[in-house]
Amino acid sequence: MEIKCKFKQQNDVVERGTFKSRKVWVIDDENADYPQTLEVEVAQDKVNLFNNFRPGQPLTVSINLRGREWTNPQGEVKVFNTLQCWKVTSDIADDEISIDAVEIVKAIAKASPKNKDGKISSNFQEEFFNKLENDNNDLPF
């Protein structure tokens, strides 16, 4: 099964013995009036599948629906369901990513400190981060 969604966040990896898992939240906003936040789980060698995605990034998440019964100490039977993710792909085209990168570089160059000759200052990194801290309202990102 596949879900078209947007990445929201990933939680910390939880380890129980040799088993590793991570809960990841995605937003299904097919119906814009009622967006749905879904929790999917990635396990073992898949726990890092979402590391390179940013909040709001459109994704296609491939999942298996899992369920199991559990009997509590009082004898009541409960059922737990899990959306287990086994594959995730970005729905952003490569050319969109390239355009984003170009826009970011342009914004950094525009905001970078310049010396009186109009060239980027040799203390660029320090001055740039100072400028970010002091006046980040002008930046387009």
Q: Which CATH number do you get for residue 44?
A: 2.40.50.140
Asked whether residue 84 falls in the same domain as residue 104, the answer is no
Asked whether residue 77 falls in the same domain as residue 114, the answer is no
pLDDT of residue 26: 96
Q: What is the 3-state secondary structure (H, E, C) of 63-91?
A: EEEEEEEEECCCCCEEEEEEEEEEEEEEC
pLDDT per residue of the chain (141 residues) written in tens, 0 to 9: 999 999 999 999 999 999 999 999 999 988 889 999 999 999 999 999 999 899 999 999 999 999 999 999 999 999 999 999 999 998 876 555 545 566 666 666 666 656 666 666 666 666 666 665 565 555 555
Residue 140 included in any domain: no
Asked whether residue 74 falls in the same domain as residue 127, the answer is no
Residue 85 has which token pair?
């993710």
pLDDT of residue 91: 84
pLDDT of residue 64: 96
Residue tagged 């970011």 (tokens): 104
Asked whether residue 84 falls in the same domain as residue 110, the answer is no
Q: What is the 3-state secondary structure (H, E, C) of 18-45?
A: CEEEEEEEEEECCCCCCCEEEEEEEEHH
pTM (whole model) above 0.85? no
Asked whether residue 117 falls in the same domain as residue 78, the answer is no
Asked whether residue 99 falls in the same domain as residue 41, the answer is no
4: number of Cβ within 10 Å: 13
Distance of alpha carbon 115 from alpha carbon 54, whole angstroms: 34
Residue 139 included in any domain: no
pLDDT of residue 31: 87
pLDDT of residue 55: 92
pLDDT of residue 32: 86
Residue 84 included in any domain: yes
Residue 14 included in any domain: yes
Q: For the chain, what is the domain count?
A: 2
61: buried, middle or exposed (CB in 10 Å: 19+, 13-18, 0-12)?
buried
Residue 116 included in any domain: yes
Q: Which range marks the domain in which residue 130 is found?
A: 95-134
